[in-house]
Amino acid sequence: MSIEDRYRNGFFLAPMVRVGTLPLRLLSLHYGADLVWTDENIDRGIIGCERVVDEKTGVVAFIKDGKDMFATHPDERDKVIFQIGTADPTLALAAAKVVEQDVAGIDLNCGCPKKFSIQGGMGAALLQKPDQLCAILETLVKNISKPVSCKIRVLDDEEQTLALVRRIAATGIAALTVHCRTRDMRPREKAMWHRLNSIVDEVAPLPVILNGDVFSYEDVQRARDSTGATSVMTARGAIENPSIFRAEGPLPVIDVAVEYVKYAVRVSSPFRFTKYTILQIYPDKKGIQYRGLQSSRGYEQMCAAVGIADFYYSEGARLINDRADPEVAKSASAKRQHPSLSVKAVDPGSSGAPCEDAALDSEESPTKRTRTECGTTA
């Protein structure tokens, strides 16, 4: 099946800030997702990256100034859509060229309503600049070997929305995702699925992907039947339980959370993102395991907190690198200075000092992020 065909009749993982990193994408594919979107990657952050392959894990990391800006794996190569945050055709193309051979498609983010994106002329700001938006898409379509798609929000005015999507479709993109909320609407406000029907008709036969208020596998067919959408995308539904993609029904979320940790360890994912995500997924916010996750400062402690210490020692420890696990770096440093010392595991139920990312920067304060990214929660 070609990637263009995969945009049809599918159930996809949406781009999400800090959450849509490699472990969740691989886990979602494992449970049945047809395509997975990366979290947004800002053009200048990707341009100039060094491509590094980890022989132990198979992970392909794009590194700049010692920081992992993007990571992927051969297991998702034909199903991962790389989302770019940009306001400039030249920069967008330069960024896309860096990752072109390691992803299945390129997506332009025209929906992020956060201050950082808007001030930079990116995300939802592009909705008010159709000439610029379409110039970026046309540049990508003409110069990239992979399919190009676009993710937007609806405008307040329906006729203006239709005029915009007509122009977008004319650029030659392979698919259009519509978040059925306006720029100023928030997740607590019901997604306006009814706004999609006219868009589907306007751009047919272009695949149109619905995003917004999809919380179960059953919602997929309901959304397609009521809107005519080609495919459906979920964000919050996947955070609540990543096994949402199973046609057979979701698995117990605690079991899924454990699987997420295993995936994160196996691909040596940066710990700060894993910790942020597992705290969103884990259902029991009052239990001892959750407190252990909150106080964990590395993968060894995280695995102990969810009851898979044996997995860490038998499989995980040999895969984790210093960038992924702050405790590995700490232990290595301590042993270099004092070879006789060993780092003891912390009781996961204790109230230790919080990890450096226990209170990650808000989406409105991106300057402190290791990765400059933004996404949607729908």
Contacts of 51 (CB under 8 A, 6+ apart): 60, 61, 62, 98, 102
C-beta separation of 24 from 66 below 8 A: no
Please give the structure tokens belonging to residue 177. 């995702």
β-strands 208-211, 231-234 pairing? parallel
> What is the secondary structure of 181-216 as a DSSP string?
S-TT--TTSPP-GGGHHHHHHHHTTS-EEEESS--S
- Catalytic, out of 49, 110, 112, 374: 112
Can you tell me the distance from the alpha carbon of 140 to that of 129, in angstroms, rounded to the nearest whole number?
17
Distances (CA, A) of 339 to 317, 320, 328, 342: 19, 20, 14, 8
C-beta separation of 44 from 371 below 8 A: no
- Can 112 be counted among the known catalytic residues? yes
Other beta carbons within 10 Å of 16: 26
Where helices occur in 59-153 by DSSP H, the ranges are 89-99, 115-119, 130-143
Catalytic sites, residue numbers: 112
